[in-house]
Amino acid sequence: MQAAVPSTQSKSDTRNIPVFPEQIALFVLVTVLFFLWGMSNNLTDILVQQFRKSFELSPFSAQLVSTANFTGYFVMAIPAALIMRHWGYKTGMVMGLVLFGSGMVLFWPAAVSGQYIPFLIALFAVGCGASVLETAANPFMAQFGPPQTSERRLNFAQSFNPPGTILGVIIGGQFIFSGVELTSAQVAKMKAAGTYASYLHSEIMRVVPTYLALGSAVLLFALLLSRMKFPVVSSDPNAGPGSGGEDTGSFAELIHYPQLWFAVVANVFNIGAQICMWSNLIPYMKQYTPVTERSAAHYLTATLIVMSIGRFATTPLMKYVAANRILGLYALINVALMGLAVTRPGMLGAYAIVAASFFLSIMFPTIFALGLKGLGPNTKLAGSLLVMAIVGGAIFPLFLGAIARQTGSLALGYLVPLTGFAGVSLYGFFAPRPKET
């Protein structure tokens, strides 16, 4: 098993250790995966508003978009890890892409049906595919190079997720939102004329071209990746042939790694806060500002640009400052920004939500890399638990939706992501680290 490396290393420990592996072409190709699944991730934020209008949903029911998607992460993470334990990272990535792309293609029959449930089933399939991808790609990147620089390497790869997400939101805002926002009088007039139902169905059908195009691109990339040769990624030079020489590991051994379990809890809080913050930005601005749907979608795009800047700007800083300390400080800043969103609803609160994305940027990859440190052959299985923690994105929005429904205030609902970031801050400053052996 590889020696554990404390996250609080001195500058001289890691400053001259390379970040990138020698097989740079494969590194680039797998990094493209982060861009690809990023394109669909925040389309769910567009869908929350689109389905809320098209199916005339309550704030609570609209949150089921996130719940369906992120429940898929919870369900598929361990099966994905078991598959990779036997057949390796390449099989996991290809399988994840196929599930992911197939789920997006299912949006076509879902839209034709005109029912909400088929969309939730399709979103669940997308979440299952994304779960397999994250279970494969994140630990692969952490292990695909020197362990001392795993946080920096994974943060670099994750830096290409926001640009993909930005492109996805721009496409979604342009092609999913029609720009038509009816007044109550116009709705009543269309209902009297018998045209309102057909209008709602036309709004539902607007999601089909975007998801068909993205699904087709993902399936083509799966075919490309299936033809690539992957190296054996193992922390044990004496690993047996059971999985082509790669790590196998044991779930029973994971109980001995407290750094993993604290990271799992922190990731539940982190993803829950993130999804609450983003998926409700458009409804938040619709409630407290005069902006239109499409204009609000531009603010959602801005959060992703800010997030991308945050990752590219902070990753080099980790060469000089311990990653856990940056994580704790950034999460604490986001607690303050969510406080503004709660107490000052309106443009100031919206600006605070956008700004919080800068500090959110490094949370997932940093928690992921810290949780995997020192786990050696148990890395694949441990990675599945960290991906399962993404279920926070299915749970936290339900609490926000319940608060908004009971109080009529989305601003008060932002107490939920505030709590999530507080949990991440405590993890960053106080959670145990693996000891050097």
Over residues 380-418, the pLDDT tens digits come to 788 888 888 988 988 999 999 899 989 989 999 999 999
372: DSSP letter: H
Q: How far apart are CA 183 and CA 77, in angstroms?
A: 44
Sketch out the chain's domains with CATH numbers.
23-230+249-430 (1.20.1250.20)
Cα Rg of the chain (Å, integer): 21
Give the Cα-Cα-Cα angle 77, 357, 65 (nearest 5 degrees): 45
434 alpha-carbon distance from chain centroid: 26
Non-local (6+) Cβ contacts of 225 within 8 A are 29, 33, 90, 93, 94, 97
Say how far residue 346 (Cα) sits from the centre of its chain: 26
Is the pLDDT higher at 15 or at 194?
194
CA distances to 21, 237, 368 from 17, in Å = 11, 20, 20
Angle between helices 323-343 and 415-430 (to 10 degrees): 160
| Pair of tokens at residue 298 | 């531009």
What's the whole-model pTM score? 0.70
Nearest to 262 by CA among 81, 430, 435: 430
User: Phi/psi at 250 (nearest 5 deg)?
Assistant: -150, 135
Token code pair at residue 172: 């979604």
Instruction: Tell me the pLDDT band of 42, cut-offs 50, 70 and 90.
Output: low
Give residue-wise pLDDT tens across range 283-314: 899 899 998 877 888 898 898 889 889 988 89
Cβ burial 190-225 (10 Å sphere, 16+ → b, else e): beeeeebeebbeebbebbbebbeebbeebbebbeeb
Average pLDDT over all residues of the chain: 83
> Token pair 């990272």 is at which residue?
89
CA separation for the pair 246, 248 (Å, rounded): 7
Q: CB count, 10 Å around CB of 185?
A: 8
pLDDT digits (tens, 9 = 90+) for 82-140: 888 888 888 999 999 999 999 999 989 988 888 889 989 998 999 899 889 888 888 88
Determine the average pLDDT of the residues in 421-434. Answer: 89
